[in-house]
Amino acid sequence: MTEAFIHGFLLSAGLILPLGVQNLFIFNQGVTQPSVYKAFPAVITAAVCDTLLILLAVLGTAYLVEQFEWLHNVIYIAGIVFLIYIAWAIWREEPQGDGGNGPITAKKQVVFALSVSLLNPHAFLDTFGVIGTNSLLYHGDALWMFTLAAIIVSWLYFFLLAFAGGFIRRIDKDYKFRKLINKISAATIFGIAVYMILQLI
């Protein structure tokens, strides 16, 4: 069982470490919210979504997505639309204190976190294609240890991203770095959306 836990932990860490759309959004909330605790709606929503995706992958939902091509396409197109909208929203967002609109509300955090978590085809591919496939190596208690490890990685990493963003906020008194992070995050997310469009074409 220890081997299964280590396997699940390392595999999930390798998948989640690159700064994709979901991670950039969580980090951005840690930076822009007045307190890191104000970013917890986004953190918890993303972690819960990842938990659900991991459980679904292990329980075999990947098979359904593979069988129904239309479902894959619907998720893919919806993901592109949401990514473009999120990129636009982050680009327009101004750090609080310079006459901007300030950080987004908890409700918007939840909606955005849901969209970047559940309407992100790459998240589905990673979760179902990698974690789901590797879970086939285990059965019984070992399978659940593998699954638990993957879930723990998601929760830990999202909280770490928010706290890292909070650290940047504390040392960035003139908001310059936060403005730069917003622009970089928005441009990266938009670039991913463009890449997805090209893949679809």
User: What string of pLDDT tens digits covers the 201 residues of the chain?
Assistant: 788 888 888 878 777 766 677 888 898 888 888 888 999 999 999 999 999 999 988 877 556 656 666 666 776 677 677 778 777 877 877 655 444 456 788 888 999 888 888 877 767 766 776 777 777 777 788 888 989 999 999 999 999 999 998 888 888 767 677 677 778 777 877 887 787 688 777
Residue with tokens 């995706």: 53
Distances, alpha carbon 32 to alpha carbons 117, 136, 172, in Å: 20, 41, 11
Provide the whole-model pTM: 0.73
* Neighbouring C-beta atoms of residue 68, cutoff 10 Å: 11
Establish how many alpha carbons lie within 13 A of residue 140's alpha carbon, considering only the half-sphere containing its beta carbon.
2
What tokens appear for 5 in the block? 């836990």
**What is the C-alpha to C-alpha distance for residues 183 and 200, in angstroms, rounded to an integer?**
26
